[in-house]
Amino acid sequence: MEITQHPRGELLELRLNGRIDGTWGDHLSTTIEKAVRAGSHHLALNCSGVDYISSLGIGVIVTHYKVLKSVNGSLLVTHPSKFVRQILDTVGLTSILIDGADAPTAPSPTARREMRGAAVYQIYPQLAAQPLSCSLIGDPGKLTTTGFSAADCRSIMFPRGTFGLGLGAFGTGFADCENRFGEFLAAGGCAVALPTGEPDAAPDYLIQEGSLIPRVETLYALSGAGDFSTMVRFDALSERSEKIGISELLTTLLDFSSASAIGLVVLAETACIVGTSLLKSPALGPVDHAVPGVRDWLSFTTERVSEKNLALLVGVAGRDVSDETAAFLRPLRPGSTIHAHVHAAVFSYRPVQEGELPFAGTISSTIAAANPKALLHLMADSRPYDGVGETDLARGACWIGPLKTFSRG
């Protein structure tokens, strides 16, 4: 089978020539998947040159139709050959797949569009009945000085309308969690935590259901509450290698907010994730940052990989923050005037739904659809020769709000 690509604005036409059968079905599926990963969420399959399609071929098309439909994208069959038309009529898919059934939706007229650096942005104002607030809980300095004890443990609830990140665990008090404390994040009535102490441990999560509200036993945390005032879509420009660095994104989000500090939640398709996670609970003692002892405490991403993933980022970023707040943040990269603390839960690749997304329900549906496979504290690796750089994102949706004050929790 021969497949050629013909972009037409937001629509990407794939012109197919040959048979869609057991031999070529995987080729078509791979081509569609690569187009979606590259950011094309509206596809037209021009089937004028298709002389045969089997049930397997129909299954490939329907599978990708459902995936794109779930993220406000579309997949159409255009210019079907006589044989393709007859088969789609027979199986009852003509009204769903044939030309014109779905069309790309125009961006919301409420969105402001801007181009900054390596990405294009769409900014959607949100109703923020309750401004964001943030509490500073615990002493992050103990991570490398004394370690943490039972006196440092705080139980925090994260219902809808809150967000947070830090070091914590799911359980009932310090004694229960002592060997499992690790990175966690929370947003939208969901919490994800990475237990330490077990080889290849997978992140666990809780989602608010009825009277079940996620609760995290924390050693230290940034805990926020309120409504995000702005939603921002971003899409890396293809002529700039289809990626935007996390430092550039956070700088731009701060500019959009016109605030010295923001709380943020990001759902993004990633080009590369760079970060670290604890291997042992800091309740067992202070983390050794010197080589070789650090290798027993921390796991680092050691190389850049091209495989794309879906990531949920929760964090706080700011300029000119107080010394007390700065203790919970780190410079984005050497020399940066912006300090931030961001954790990321990583999932298998899935495209981010297009258009304006409601915060309520989006995070929980993302986590429920696929188990997180990693949880990282994002950081830049700026070593002169061996450094792997920083996290790069391809496209996604952000919810942000200004943080005017930080209080001690």
pLDDT in tens, 303-354: 766 578 999 999 999 998 899 999 999 988 777 889 999 999 999 998 888 8
Interval 240-259 mean pLDDT: 90
pLDDT at residue 36, rounded to an integer: 86
Chain mean pLDDT for the chain: 89
Dump pLDDT digits (tens) for 72-84: 788 999 888 999 9
Structure tokens belonging to residue 218: 């924390």
pLDDT exceeds 60 at position 215: yes
pLDDT at residue 214, rounded to an integer: 96
pLDDT at residue 249, rounded to an integer: 96
pLDDT exceeds 80 at position 188: yes
pLDDT at residue 70, rounded to an integer: 77
Dump pLDDT digits (tens) for 85-132: 999 888 888 888 885 544 444 445 568 999 998 899 999 999 888 999
Residue recorded with tokens 């981010």: 352
d(CA 52, CA 48): 11
Would you say how long the chain is, in residues? 409
Give the C-alpha distances (Å, rounded to integers) separating 109 from 105, 166, 204. Answer: 11, 38, 39
d(CA 180, CA 158): 19
| Lowest mean pLDDT segment, chosen from 153-157, 174-178, 266-270, 362-366 | 362-366
Interval 281-302 mean pLDDT: 87
Residue recorded with tokens 């690569």: 34
pLDDT at residue 106, rounded to an integer: 47
pLDDT exceeds 70 at position 239: no
Dump pLDDT digits (tens) for 369-385: 888 999 999 998 776 66
pLDDT at residue 103, rounded to an integer: 47
pLDDT at residue 241, rounded to an integer: 67
pLDDT at residue 337, rounded to an integer: 85
Closest CA to 391 of 335, 315, 326: 315
Q: Considering only residues 61 and 39, tell me which one the structure prediction assigns the higher pLDDT.
A: 61
375 and 365 Cβ atoms separated by less than 8 Å: no
171: left (phi over 0), alpha (psi -120 to 50) or beta: left
pLDDT at residue 360, rounded to an integer: 80
Interval 258-283 mean pLDDT: 95
Interval 37-65 mean pLDDT: 89
Alpha-carbon dihedral 127, 128, 129, 132, rounded to 10 degrees: 170
> Which pLDDT band, with edges at 50, 70 and 90, does 232 fall under?
very high
pLDDT at residue 399, rounded to an integer: 97
386: left (phi over 0), alpha (psi -120 to 50) or beta: alpha
pLDDT exceeds 50 at position 67: yes
